[in-house]
Structure 1
Amino acid sequence: MPAMMPFVSVCLMLACLWQIQSSQGHPSDLHNVAYNKRVTVSSKHPHHGGSKAVNGLFDDFATTDRERSPWLRINLGRNYYIHEIEVFARRDCPHCGKQLHNIDVKVGKTKDSMRMCGHYSASARPGGQIAIWCPYGTVGRYVQVQIVRGEASHLSVAEVIVWGKRK
């Protein structure tokens, strides 16, 4: 029986570590607070509306029309502590990553009081993930992703995941 003790100790330690972490290495108290929430876009595309950015599916996408500084805004419905925002590029075509470039990611308690969480200055790879960590204590109801530099462009995203917890 004493020979089993190291094995049991390792199993207990692994179980504790698993409990602390949830999917994608996030603490277990964080959840995707954007899932199936209301999305507004700066311009509407007839077949790829904003709701497709928060439906949990990575094989479809939301997109704006071609314009300068296009944006997508998620209404979380209430204030949350926001930890991280992941933006996923389309993977269905080789040039789709260029439709997600030079983005600002902002969070705010109102649409008029958005604060910067982070900026990504390159173009995404097709199917690529952009992870933006917000400053500690960031609270907001709205999350906005916006292209802020370059020529007129579409803003296309496969999915936006907002890791947060109730305030």
Structure 2
Amino acid sequence: MVLDSRNLIVGSSASMSSVFSNGYPPHLASYAVDNITDCIYTNVAATQREENPWLRIDLGMMFDVQHVLVYARPDGFEPGRTHNLLTTVSNDEQNHTCGFYPGPTDLGDRIAVICNNLTRGRYVTLTIQSNSGKKDILQVCEIKVFGKP
């Protein structure tokens, strides 16, 4: 794991609650951490339509997470899907809320979630808090996590 001069945590991996494909190339979780912020349709991370879809980034070790930057899709395909987005930081024993974004996003928006000083963990998870009985798709272009070891 390495930090660049702006405290960007790089070299992380990601997983999701499901992977959207439906006859298209799979929209893998790894696209959320591939360092491409100007996505096209084929390199967007997206879940299937489900209740409370989530995407989890494994930072590889414990960090004091300072903020999380989420890049929305810029390509014009169904803007507004990112809403009611809860961002948490956790390890195997503790779960900390970093922030909540009510949304919805517009094309190419960037969501900055600022964490408090006590937000330490190995995993950063983004979850859409679905309304009762509603299914959502979590789709992001890129997620950048900033912090210190």
How many residue pairs match? The answer is 136
- Cα offset for 1:94? 4.9
Q: Which runs of 5+ in 1 are unaligned?
A: 1-27
Tell me the C-alpha RMSD between the 2 structures.
1.6
Q: Following the alignment from structure 1 to structure 2, what is the Cα–Cα distance between the partners of residues 72 and 116?
A: 15
Q: Following the alignment from structure 1 to structure 2, what is the Cα–Cα distance between the partners of residues 165 and 129?
A: 22
- After superposing on structure 2, the runs of 4+ consecutive aligned residues of structure 1 that deviate more than 3 Å are none
**Which residue of the partner structure matches residue 57 of structure 1?**
36
- Cα offset for 1:30? 4.0
Q: Following the alignment from structure 1 to structure 2, what is the Cα–Cα distance between the partners of residues 30 and 82?
A: 13
Q: Following the alignment from structure 1 to structure 2, what is the Cα–Cα distance between the partners of residues 65 and 78?
A: 29
SS at match of 1:105: strand
Are the counterparts in 1 of residues 11 and 59 from structure 2 also a CA contact under 8 Å?
Answer: no
Larger radius of gyration: 1
Higher share of residues assigned helix: 1
**Which residue of the partner structure matches residue 43 of structure 1?**
18
Q: Following the alignment from structure 2 to structure 1, what is the Cα–Cα distance between the partners of residues 55 and 48?
A: 12
- Cα offset for 1:50? 0.2
Q: Summarize deviations over 1:66-111 as a string: whole Å, max 9, x none.
A: 1010000001000011100011110111523x2211100000122x
Are the counterparts in 2 of residues 30 and 165 from structure 1 also a CA contact under 8 Å?
Answer: no
Are the counterparts in 1 of residues 130 and 136 from structure 2 also a CA contact under 8 Å?
Answer: no
Amino acid at match of 1:40: S
Pairing 1:107–2:82 present: no
Paired residues for 1:17-166 under 5 Å: 30-33=6-9, 35-46=10-21, 47-58=26-37, 59=39, 60-96=43-79, 98-110=80-92, 113-150=94-131, 151-166=134-149
Report the TM-score, using the length of structure 2 for normalisation.
Answer: 0.84
Identity of aligned residues (%): 32
SS at match of 1:52: helix
Amino acid at match of 1:124: T
Name which of structure 1's ranges 45-54 and 74-83 shifts more when overlaid on structure 2: 45-54
Amino acid at match of 1:86: L
Q: Which runs of 5+ in 2 are unaligned?
A: none
- Cα offset for 1:29? 5.2
